[in-house]
Every structure is written in C-alpha cells, then in structure tokens.
Amino acid sequence: MLIVMEQKATSKEIEAVVSAIENRGYTARPIPGGDRVSIGVLHNKGAVDASLFLGLPGVKEVIPVTRPYKLVSREFKPEDSVIRVGDIAIGKGNFTMIAGPCAIESEDQAMTTAQIVKEAGAQLFRGGAFKPRTSPYSFQGLGEEGLKILAKIRRETGMPVVTEVMDYENFDLVEEYADVIQIGTRNMQNFSLLRRAGKAKKPVLLKRGMAATIDEWLMAAEYILEGGNTQVILCERGVRTFVHHSRNTLDLSAVPFVHNESHLPVIIDPSHAAGRRDQVIPLSRAAVAVGADGLMVEVHHSPDDALSDGGQSLYPEQFKQLCENARSIFGLI
C-alpha cells in the first residue's frame, strides 16, 4: 500500500503517518516525489486496512499496490529514477553508452581499449576483474590486480568503471574500486549477494537471469531497494531459448514492459545476447529504437587475441560506427 501525502503536508504529519504504520508492525518507507511525499507500507502480511490512515492529517489518498514488487514499481514511484554516476545521469531520457572488454587482461589491453571507446563516445568503461566462466579451465580474470587497473583507467581517462562482483566474499573489495557494481546473469537470484548489494553505497547494474521472467528480475531488484540502495540499473542481456543462430535471444520487449512496470532505467547488453559480433550493431540499433536507457557493449582493441568473448567483441572501427548509429537513432525518438 502507498500513502500519498498532501503537497503541503508538514514533516510532523509525515512523521505521524510513519509512526502509525510502524505501530502496526509494518515498515514505513517514505519516497520523496516531485512535489509531494508518498509513504510505502512494507512487510505487511495480507491486506492493510486503508481506513487506518485515510483520516490522518496530511494524508491525500491511499493506493493499494497490486504488484508483488513494491519499491521498484511505478505504483510506488511514478516518476523515472535517475541513477547518478559522477556527473553522468542514467535514465529519465538520457542515453548512456558503456563499453569495454569482457575481461581486464592487462594494463596495456585495458588502457588501449579504454582510450578507443572513450574517443568514440563511451561514457563509462566496463571490464571484468572477476569472471564467471562456464569452464574452470578458461581465463578467470585478474582479480584484485584487474580492479587496480580499472582504478588507473578511471584516473587517467576520467571514465567511471563498471565491474562485476561474483561473490559475497569479494563484495567489499569490488565496492571499493567500482563506480557501478555489476551483478551478472548467473547471480541474479543469489539472494545473499542481492542483500549485500542493498547495503552498498554504489549503484548496482543488475543483469537479467538468462532463464528469469521479468517478474523474477524485478523481484531481484526489489531485494536491493528493500535493503536501502535505490540506485539500480536493470540490464537485459538475452535469455536462453532453443535457437542456435545466437548465444541467447535478446528480449527487446522487456524494455517497454519494464518501463511500464518500473521507474528504474533499463539498458541493453547486445554482446552477451548475440554472442557473435555480426549481430551486435543491428541489435544495438534496435535497442536504441525500442527506448533503452543505454547500451553496454563489449569492445576489444584486438578481439582476435581476447582471452574471453573475443567472438562477440567489436573491433574499434565497428564501435565507432555503433556510436554514430546510436546517436542518430536516439535523435529520432
């Protein structure tokens, strides 16, 4: 349930409503809006009696929330959320380009690629220091050394960095270095990781599980917001289907659906969706056209030598083309 306060409600009236909610054993979550405060009621088992709050001073209306996810839903917060990373704003009409290699392999590789993507128009740099690989024999990432390289890239290029946290044990470490903490598809329902992300002081980029419904994805985001961290960016990266012509199937309709359901920004990762370079630019164009709030794309200065996901990584020239295409299409919508 959502209690919407009058525009002129005083802080005393708001506090009184919060107390009334808490006295009944529920959790009150004030949500500042454009011109008024709303107060979400959480942790209620079963329906809450609206008449308990309707007569309180400063209360305008009480709206029942029908969705299983509360804090991420538009019912709770009608306006788009903006996620701020330094002076970059993600969501609410902004288009954000995130690019970089699958994995940080060396300082040279990461720095060369960072300069290329920055010049082409990327605003944030991505790169995994901890890599979730299907095979234990594949390159697993440089770990902390990779994080230090990312910190150097931020210092030297000014680009904030996005990097994945794979487990609870390394969360503090990744949080110390990352500007945006990525939770990958395989961890979308790792609930202890989600709860820890809810306590993080940095924005979280939450990828959709490769076999997750949108409800499950939004419920995973709910864990993070429920923990207190409202800085969540959703990322559609393709779901597992029966096809063989791509690694996954990019679910473009997730974008308008999520935009209807949630105030959180949703970006698209065409690289892991396609799994092959020749589909990345066409899918990116479609992602911009469908209204995604941004793209996260794998680019390598020399994809043929990449230690992971080289086959889906763009060549520098291709990324330049993609940025130009994205800018033109974004200008049309």
Q: Residue 96 — φ and ψ, nearest 5°?
A: -115, 130
For residue 40, state whether it binds ligand PEP (rule: CB under 6 A).
no
- In the bound state with ligand PEP, the residue whose beta carbon lies nearer, of 75 and 236, is 236
| 171 vs 176: CA distance, rounded Å | 9
- In the bound state with ligand PEP, the residue whose beta carbon lies nearer, of 118 and 207, is 207
List binders of Mn ion among 23-62 (CB under 5 A). none
Torsion 241-247-253-256 (CA) sign? positive
Helix, strand or coil for residue 233? strand
Query: What, of Mn ion, ligand PEP, none, does residue 185 touch, CB below 5 to 8 Å by kind?
Result: ligand PEP
Query: What, of Mn ion, ligand PEP, none, does residue 313 touch, CB below 5 to 8 Å by kind?
Result: none
| 303 vs 24: CA distance, rounded Å | 59
Minimum Å gap between C-beta 251 and ligand PEP is: 13
Minimum Å gap between C-beta 279 and Mn ion is: 15
- In the bound state with ligand PEP, the residue whose beta carbon lies nearer, of 53 and 171, is 171
Minimum Å gap between C-beta 192 and ligand PEP is: 18
- In the bound state with ligand PEP, the residue whose beta carbon lies nearer, of 48 and 159, is 159
Q: Which residues pair with 232 in a beta bridge?
A: 204
Query: What, of Mn ion, ligand PEP, none, does residue 237 touch, CB below 5 to 8 Å by kind?
Result: ligand PEP
Minimum Å gap between C-beta 164 and ligand PEP is: 6
List binders of Mn ion among 60-119 (CB under 5 A). 102
Percent composition of the chain: helix, strand, coil (DSSP 3-state, to 5): 40, 20, 40
Query: What, of ligand PEP, Mn ion, none, does residue 301 touch, CB below 5 to 8 Å by kind?
Result: none
Burial 170-197, CB ≥16 within 10 A → b, else e: bbeebbebbbbbbbbbebbebeebbebb
Query: What, of ligand PEP, Mn ion, none, does residue 197 touch, CB below 5 to 8 Å by kind?
Result: none
Q: Which residues contact residue 10 at a Cβ distance below 8 angstroms, ignoring those fewer than 6 apart?
A: 58
Residue of 164, 179, 293, 309 interacting with Mn ion (CB under 5 A): 309
Query: What, of Mn ion, ligand PEP, none, does residue 236 touch, CB below 5 to 8 Å by kind?
Result: none
For residue 128, state whether it binds ligand PEP (rule: CB under 6 A).
yes
Q: Where are the alpha helices (DSSP H) in 262-315?
A: 270-274, 277-289
List binders of ligand PEP among 272-291 (CB under 6 A). 272
| 310 vs 138: CA distance, rounded Å | 13
154, 160 contact by CB (below 8 A): yes
For residue 185, state whether it binds ligand PEP (rule: CB under 6 A).
yes
Q: Which two tokens stand for residue 142?
A: 């440089």
Residue of 30, 33, 121, 132 interacting with ligand PEP (CB under 6 A): 132
For residue 166, state whether it binds Mn ion (rule: CB under 5 A).
no
Burial 228-253, CB ≥16 within 10 A → b, else e: ebbbbbbbbbbbeeeeeebbbbbbbe
Residue of 97, 102, 147, 221 interacting with ligand PEP (CB under 6 A): 102
Q: Which residues contact residue 49 at a Cβ distance below 8 angstroms, ignoring those fewer than 6 apart?
A: none
- In the bound state with Mn ion, the residue whose beta carbon lies nearer, of 38 and 312, is 312
Residue 84 CB neighbour total at 10 angstroms: 11
Binding site for Mn ion (CB under 5 A): 102, 309
Binding site for ligand PEP (CB under 6 A): 102, 128, 132, 164, 184-185, 207, 237, 269, 272
